A and B are shown apart, each in its own frame.
Chain A
């Protein structure tokens, strides 16, 4: 009887170790297998040519990723530029000004915003943001725009990353010791001065980390952006041009690429590119955030 208990315990332990190792390896396995799939195209073409050429004719064997990379960057940057002021101000409000009740009432709003599926954001984007740009905003600046533009992608993405930004920033602001803000207030500083000179300055690394994390989320977002940004292979020259981000490229062409090995390899290359960038960005910002959390946990 006693033996059986011990055997059970030991088996469970070994199984758990196996699972832990499996989880740890998953990241590596994803990276390596995407790399192996992308390897043929990297061997065939110069890496620099792949990244800097804007010549995209897959059926002639030309793979220039520049339009897609720039589209991804533009859309994500616009999203951050729109989302950042909203997120910072709202997080400050929730952290320093709002009463407990308001804070608790606002939690489900953030939860819901981050829980709404990308496809629903896409539907909302095509229903409201796209016609708004085509009908109201674009005619003021350019002659014609379909509305399926960089700007539409940026606006939809901005709404999608706001909950992520707010939830991280609130955590970061909360990690600032109460004594520090109390000291500032007791010296006669107003609330706003305290926010500006103490809280924002002190949490600068955390805010940067949150932005980087949100950027990497924006890079990888597929469905919602694909539905509103037009998907035309070109380098967008203004925010009212259509664009074609990397994830949309993968999603749109997966069906037809199987007939051509180099096409498949090229798409896998873009997945690999996304993976590397996102892992780097995530790694850096998570590391910073963990340091912040640790520093204040024991002080």
Chain B
């Protein structure tokens, strides 16, 4: 049993190690500061700044949408509905299912939605689709933290004559570490996913300048560079993979830090 646990640990180290080993030689400052130049996919100069910026635009856009929807929803099912409400458990159940829906299905749905609305592959399309992808995760993880919150605080606030809306504003302050953890988890899932943005955000060598222009993303950039027969371009795919992995590592550790901070101050 210790052996299997060690093997799992070993595989993790192996994965990260392989990516770093192959990518580090190709990782230059140009990679993160330049957009692809002419002939980039034939091994000429340039970097993946377009994809880094594109990924960041999409994830922050998606985050804004999904936070605005998630926070009220979680407050509603926790503080407006009665403790053992059937409606709340139905919502939680459907969130669990939504969480399991594969990202390629979100991609296909987002694409169908965009055709229906007449939007072409663009930053906006990517933002909407990724927002749908990360919403269930954000809601469920925020919900878990909110359920741990002691019921005394809301009761005290209500007995002082606060309206429920005013009560929520106070409670939200208590929930900030939990919210940050939820946001970091959502970023981690959204930023690494390629299947959702494949048809909805498109791909371009430029940094998107408006919501309706297509946007490149880091995972897709890795995928396309890896498909090139030129070895230098493949090496750059590994370098881009390092950039993505480092982003995920930072996110994961800060999520852990914030969630441990939260449990320390739990009432």
Interface window among B26-34, B37-45, B106-114, B170-178: B106-114
- B108 adjacent to A120 (CB under 8 Å): no
A97-B166 contact in complex given A27-B94, A216-B100, C-beta closer than 8 Å = no
A274-B104 contact in complex given A12-B165, A34-B112, A113-B12, C-beta closer than 8 Å = yes
Q: Mark B158-201, 1 if CB is under 8 A from A, else 0.
A: 00000111101000000000000000000011011111001100
- A23 adjacent to B104 (CB under 8 Å): no
**A271-B196 Cα distance, complex, nearest whole Å:** 13
Interface window among B149-157, B205-213, B246-254: B246-254
Q: Chain B residue with minimal CB distance to A223?
A: B194
**A216-B93 Cα distance, complex, nearest whole Å:** 16
**A271-B107 Cα distance, complex, nearest whole Å:** 9
Contacts of A235 in B (CB 8 A): none
Tell me the count of chain A residues lying within 8 A, CB to CB, of chain B.
79
- B256 adjacent to A111 (CB under 8 Å): yes
| Residues of A225-262 whose CB lies within 8 A of B | 227, 247, 250-251, 254-255
- B100 adjacent to A119 (CB under 8 Å): no
Contacts of A98 in B (CB 8 A): 5
For the complex formed, measure the closest distance between the CB of B223 and the CB atoms of chain A, giving whole angstroms. Answer: 6
Q: Mark A7-43, 1 if CB is under 8 A from B, else 0.
A: 0110011011101101110110010011001000000
* Cβ-based interface call for B58 (8 A): no
- A274 adjacent to B105 (CB under 8 Å): yes
* Cβ-based interface call for A205 (8 A): no
* Cβ-based interface call for A5 (8 A): yes
- A15 adjacent to B72 (CB under 8 Å): yes
A interface secondary structure, majority:
helix
- A5 adjacent to B166 (CB under 8 Å): yes
**A166-B198 Cα distance, complex, nearest whole Å:** 30
- B244 adjacent to A119 (CB under 8 Å): yes
- B5 adjacent to A271 (CB under 8 Å): no
- A123 adjacent to B237 (CB under 8 Å): yes
**A210-B80 Cα distance, complex, nearest whole Å:** 32
Q: Chain B residue with minimal CB distance to A23?
A: B73
B interface secondary structure, majority:
helix
Tell me the count of chain B residues lying within 8 A, CB to CB, of chain A.
77
For the complex formed, measure the closest distance between the CB of B258 and the CB atoms of chain A, giving whole angstroms. Answer: 13
For the complex formed, measure the closest distance between the CB of A104 and the CB atoms of chain B, giving whole angstroms. Answer: 10
Residue of A85, A116, A221, A278 most packed against chain B (CB within 10 A)? A116
Contacts of B96 in A (CB 8 A): 282, 286
Q: Chain A residue with minimal CB distance to B13?
A: A109
A120-B19 contact in complex given A108-B252, A250-B108, A278-B100, C-beta closer than 8 Å = yes
Partner of B5, one of A90, A115, A250: A90
- 18 extra A-B contacts, CB within 8 A, seeds A26-B94, A34-B109, A119-B194: A5-B166, A8-B165, A13-B164, A20-B76, A22-B69, A24-B90, A33-B109, A33-B112, A115-B248, A117-B244, A120-B192, A123-B226, A127-B18, A162-B8, A217-B100, A220-B103, A271-B109, A278-B100
Which B residues are within 8 Å of any A CB, using their own CB?
Answer: 1-2, 4-5, 7-9, 11-12, 14-15, 18-19, 22, 69, 72-73, 75-77, 80, 87, 90-91, 93-98, 100-109, 111-113, 116, 132, 135, 139, 163-166, 168, 188-189, 191-195, 198-199, 219, 222-223, 226, 237-238, 241, 244-245, 248-249, 251-253, 255-256
Closest 4 CB pairs of A and B: A220-B102, A117-B192, A93-B1, A16-B76
